[in-house]
C-alpha cells in the first residue's frame, strides 16, 4: 500500500488494534448473514446454469477432435505450459531483484488499472496467469466445431461467464484496491461492505441482487417522474395518465404511449432535462401514457390477450372518448411495441381503424435470430422458468433483472459488487440505475406465452400467433409506421428489428437507427446534442447494405419523429385539460401503480 506521495505509511500498534477491533464486528454481521441465508426461499436450479448436456457435448466434441488431431491439442497445451512457466519465472526474478520489467504486450483491461497489477510481483503474476488461463479457455472453446450454431453460441457465452467470474479482482485476497482500502480504513471498508452484502441479501430473501443505485436519493413523483398530469382511468391492468398541456393549442390527434411492463414507464420521464413525455407536451401534443400493474400471484392467469383487451384496446377506446376523436397515434417501446404489433394485426382482422400511425421503439417482432438472448431461450432455461412460474404464479423481477445483468456481467454485477462489498462504498445516486433496479414482476401465463410462442416458436412471422379467435401475423400490420432502433442495442438488436419491419404490410415505413444502446439511444433529448442517427428510405436491401447506404444526421431523432408525427396529427385545437365529466382525475401523475414494488 502507498500514500498519495508514493510513500508506504507506518502501521503503528494503534492502527493494528483498531483494525482488529473493526474485524471483530464481522462476527455480528456473520450471524445476520447466516440467518438470512437460512431463510432463503430458493428457486429451481435450472435458472442458475445451462443443462449439463451442453458441456458434455462440448467435451465430447473437444476430445473427439483431439483424438483426430492430437498435434493441435499438444500445441495448445505446450503454449499454455510455456506461458505459465514464463509467468512464474518472471515473478521469481522480480522477487529476487526487486525490479519489474514493463509488460507492453499486456491486454488493456480497466479491471487492472491499479499500478500494483504491473509493479508488484505478486499481483503481476496473478494478473498474467489469469489472462493466460482465460486465453487457454477461449482457445479450447474456439477449437470446438462439432456442435450446432446455437450450442456453440451458448458454449462461448457460458465459458466467458466463467472467465469473468474467476477474475482476481472478484476476490479480496487478490484485489489490491480492496486490500489498500481495508488497510487505509483500518478494516472499516470491509465492515461496511459486509453490511451492504447482508442488506442486499435481506432485501431479496437471500437472493444476491447487487444494488446498483442509492435508493434513498430518489422518490418517484418527488424528484423523478415529475411531469404534471392526472390518472384519468384505471382497471386491473393499467392506469391511464393524461399529461397536462404545455401549449395553448395542440394537435387534434392524441398520442397513446405504451411502455414495456418489464420495467416502469418513468424511464421516459426521469427528469425534466431528458423527459420524452415532457418534450412531447412542449411540441403541442396531447399525450397519454399507460402505467402497467406490477403483477403479483393474483395475476398468474393473465395473458397477452388481457394486455391487448384491457390494456391496449381499452386505453385507445378511453382516449378516443376523452378527446372526442376517431383515431389516435400509438407508440410502443420494447415488448410493448411487440404487443402493439399483435394489437394492430387483431384490429386489422376486426376492421378497427382506430390507430392512425404506429411508432415502435426498439421493437422485436421476428425472433428468428435471438441474438445475445440465445443462451437463455433454449429449452433447459425456459423449462426452468416455467417450473419457477408454476411455483410462484409470476416471473419475478429479480430473475428478469439478473438475466439482463448477466449480458453485461462485468459492468452490472462484478464491478458494482466489488465497489459495494469489498470497498464498502455506497451505490451512486444515479437515476437511470435507480430505475433499472425498480423492476416489475410478469404474470406467469403472459411470460410463458411470450417465451414459447414468440421467442421460441416465432409464430408471429411464421404460421401466425393464435389469440382471441384469430391467427395474428406480422403482414397484417399495415398502418403508417416509424421504427426507432439503436446501433449498440444488445436487447433488441437493430438488425433483428429491421428484419421484422421489412415484413410488415405497411406501405409507409420509416426506419431509423440511433447511435448508442437500448436506453440512451431512445432517451436522447435534442438539447444534449449527443447521439446522431441514420436514415435510409430504401428498405429492400439487407440490414448491412441499408446502414452502408444510409445518411447520417447529427443530433437526436426526436425532431425527425415529431415532423413525421405532425403530418399525421390533424389540425390545431385548444389544449385539453385532463379527463372529462366521465373521466375525473383519480389522482396526480405518476399514479399509484408505478409506486408498487416488485414482490420477492
| pLDDT value for 74 | 62
Q: Which three cell numbers stand for residue 36?
A: 438470512
- Other CB atoms within 10 A of residue 182 CB: 24
| pLDDT value for 472 | 98
pLDDT in tens, the chain (600 residues): 444 444 444 567 777 777 677 667 777 788 888 888 777 777 887 777 776 676 666 666 655 655 566 666 666 667 777 777 877 788 887 777 777 777 766 678 889 999 999 999 999 999 999 999 999 989 888 888 777 888 888 888 888 988 999 999 999 999 999 999 998 888 889 899 999 999 988 888 888 889 999 999 999 999 999 999 999 999 999 999 999 999 999 999 999 999 999 999 999 999 999 999 999 999 999 999 999 999 999 999 999 999 999 999 999 999 999 999 999 999 999 999 999 999 999 999 999 999 999 999 999 999 999 888 888 888 888 999 999 999 999 999 988 988 888 888 888 899 999 999 999 999 999 999 999 999 999 999 999 999 999 999 999 999 999 999 999 999 999 999 999 999 999 999 999 999 999 999 999 999 999 999 999 999 999 998 899 999 999 999 999 999 999 999 999 999 999 999 999 999 999 999 999 999 999 999 999 999 999 876
| pLDDT value for 40 | 76
Q: Report the C-alpha gap between 483 and 362 in whole angstroms.
A: 7
Query: Does the annotation mark 334 as catalytic?
Result: yes
Contacts of 564 by beta carbon, 8 Å cutoff, 6+ apart: 482, 510
**Which of 173, 320, 183, 300 has its CA nearest to residue 240?**
320
Q: Cα-flanking dihedrals φ and ψ of residue 596, to 5°?
A: -75, 125
Q: 229-370+476-595 falls under which CATH superfamily?
A: Alpha/Beta hydrolase fold, catalytic domain (3.40.50.1820)
Q: Report the C-alpha gap between 547 and 534 in whole angstroms.
A: 7
| pLDDT value for 117 | 93
For the chain, what's the residue count?
Answer: 600
Question: What SS3 state is found at 315?
Answer: helix
| pLDDT value for 207 | 83
Residue with cell 482500502: 181
| pLDDT value for 2 | 47
CA dihedral 541, 546, 549, 552 (to 10 degrees): 160
Helices (H), 103-175: 116-119, 121-142, 149-165
- Partners of residue 467 on adjacent β-strands: 470
Q: What are the domain boundaries of the chain?
A: 55-170, 229-370+476-595
pTM: 0.89
Q: Report the C-alpha gap between 323 and 578 in whole angstroms.
A: 10
Omega before 210 within 30 of 0, i.e. cis: no
- DSSP string covering 465-496: EEETTEEE-GGG--S-EEEEEETT-SSS-HHH
Q: Report the C-alpha gap between 340 and 332 in whole angstroms.
A: 6
Amino acid at each position: 500500500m502507498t500514500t498519495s506521495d508514493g510513500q508506504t505509511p507506518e502501521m503503528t500498534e494503534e492502527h493494528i488494534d483498531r483494525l482488529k477491533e473493526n474485524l471483530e464486528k464481522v462476527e455480528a454481521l456473520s450471524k445476520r448473514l447466516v440467518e438470512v441465508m437460512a431463510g432463503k426461499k430458493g428457486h429451481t436450479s435450472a435458472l442458475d446454469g445451462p443443462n449439463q448436456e451442453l458441456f458434455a457435448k462440448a467435451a465430447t466434441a473437444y476430445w473427439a477432435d483431439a483424438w483426430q488431431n492430437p498435434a493441435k491439442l499438444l500445441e495448445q497445451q505446450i503454449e499454455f505450459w510455456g506461458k505459465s512457466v514464463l509467468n512464474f519465472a518472471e515473478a521469481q526474478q522480480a522477487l529476487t531483484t526487486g525490479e519489474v520489467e514493463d509488460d507492453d504486450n499486456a491486454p488493456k483491461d480497466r479491471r487492472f488499472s491499479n499500478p500494483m497489477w504491473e509493479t508488484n510481483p505478486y499481483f503481476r503474476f496473478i494478473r498474467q496467469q489469469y489472462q493466460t488461463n482465460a486465453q487457454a479457455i477461449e482457445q479450447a472453446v474456439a477449437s470446438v466445431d462439432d456442435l450446432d450454431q446455437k450450442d456453440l453460441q451458448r458454449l462461448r457465452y457460458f465459458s466467458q461467464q466463467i472467465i469473468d467470474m474467476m477474475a482476481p479482482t472478484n476476490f479480496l485476497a487478490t484485489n489490491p484496491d480492496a486490500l489498500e482500502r481495508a488497510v487505509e480504513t483500518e478494516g472499516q471498508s470491509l465492515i461496511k461492505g459486509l453490511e451492504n452484502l447482508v442488506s442486499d441479501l435481506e432485501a431479496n430473501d437471500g437472493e444476491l441482487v447487487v444494488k446498483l443505485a442509492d435508493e434513498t436519493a430518489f422518490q418517484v413523483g418527488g424528484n423523478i417522474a415529475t411531469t404534471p398530469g392526472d390518472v384519468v382511468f384505471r382497471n386491473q391492468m393499467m392506469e391511464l395518465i393524461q399529461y397536462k398541456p404545455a401549449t395553448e393549442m395542440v394537435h387534434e390527434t392524441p398520442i397513446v404511449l405504451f411502455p414495456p411492463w418489464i420495467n416502469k414507464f418513468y424511464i421516459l420521464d426521469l427528469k425534466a432535462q431528458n423527459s420524452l413525455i415532457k418534450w412531447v407536451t412542449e411540441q403541442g401534443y396531447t399525450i397519454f401514457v399507460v402505467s402497467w400493474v406490477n403483477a403479483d400471484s393474483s395475476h398468474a392467469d393473465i395473458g397477452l390477450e388481457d394486455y391487448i383487451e384491457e390494456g391496449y384496446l381499452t386505453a385507445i377506446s378511453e382516449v378516443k372518448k376523452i378527446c372526442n376523436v376517431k383515431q389516435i397515434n400509438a407508440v410502443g417501446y420494447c415488448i410493448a411495441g411487440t404487443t402493439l404489433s399483435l394489437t394492430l394485426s387483431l384490429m386489422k382482422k376486426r376492421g378497427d381503424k382506430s390507430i392512425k400511425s404506429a411508432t415502435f421503439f426498439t421493437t422485436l417482432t421476428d425472433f428468428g435470430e435471438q441474438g445475445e438472448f440465445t443462451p437463455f431461450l433454449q429449452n433447459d432455461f425456459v423449462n426452468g422458468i416455467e417450473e419457477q412460474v408454476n411455483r410462484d404464479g409470476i416471473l419475478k423481477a429479480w430473475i428478469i433483472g439478473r438475466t439482463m445483468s448477466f449480458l453485461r456481467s462485468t459492468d452490472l454485477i462484478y464491478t458494482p459488487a466489488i465497489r459495494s462489498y469489498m470497498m464498502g462504498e455506497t451505490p451512486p445516486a444515479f437515476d437511470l440505475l435507480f430505475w433499472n433496479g425498480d423492476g416489475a414482476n410478469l404474470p406467469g401465463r403472459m411470460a410463458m406465452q411470450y417465451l414459447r410462442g414468440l421467442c421460441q416458436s416465432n409464430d408471429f412471422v411464421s404460421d401466425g400467433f393464435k389469440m382471441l379467435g384469430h391467427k395474428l401475423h406480422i403482414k397484417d400490420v399495415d398502418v403508417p409506421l416509424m421504427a426507432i432502433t439503436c446501433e449498440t442495442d444488445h436487447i433488441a438488436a437493430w438488425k433483428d428489428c429491421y428484419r421484422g419491419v421489412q415484413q410488415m404490410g405497411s406501405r409507409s415505413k420509416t426506419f431509423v437507427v440511433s447511435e448508442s444502446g437500448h436506453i440512451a439511444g431512445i432517451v436522447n433529448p435534442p438539447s444534449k446534442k449527443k447521439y446522431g442517427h441514420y436514415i435510409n428510405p430504401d428498405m429492400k436491401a439487407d440490414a448491412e447494405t441499408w446502414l452502408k447506404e444510409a445518411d447520417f444526421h447529427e443530433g437526436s431523432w426526436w425532431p425527425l419523429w415529431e415532423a413525421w408525427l405532425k403530418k399525421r396529427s390533424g389540425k390545431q385545437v385548444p389544449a385539453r385539460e385532463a379527463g372529462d365529466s366521465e373521466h375525473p382525475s383519480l389522482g396526480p401523475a405518476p399514479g399509484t401503480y408505478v409506486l408498487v414494488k416488485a414482490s420477492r
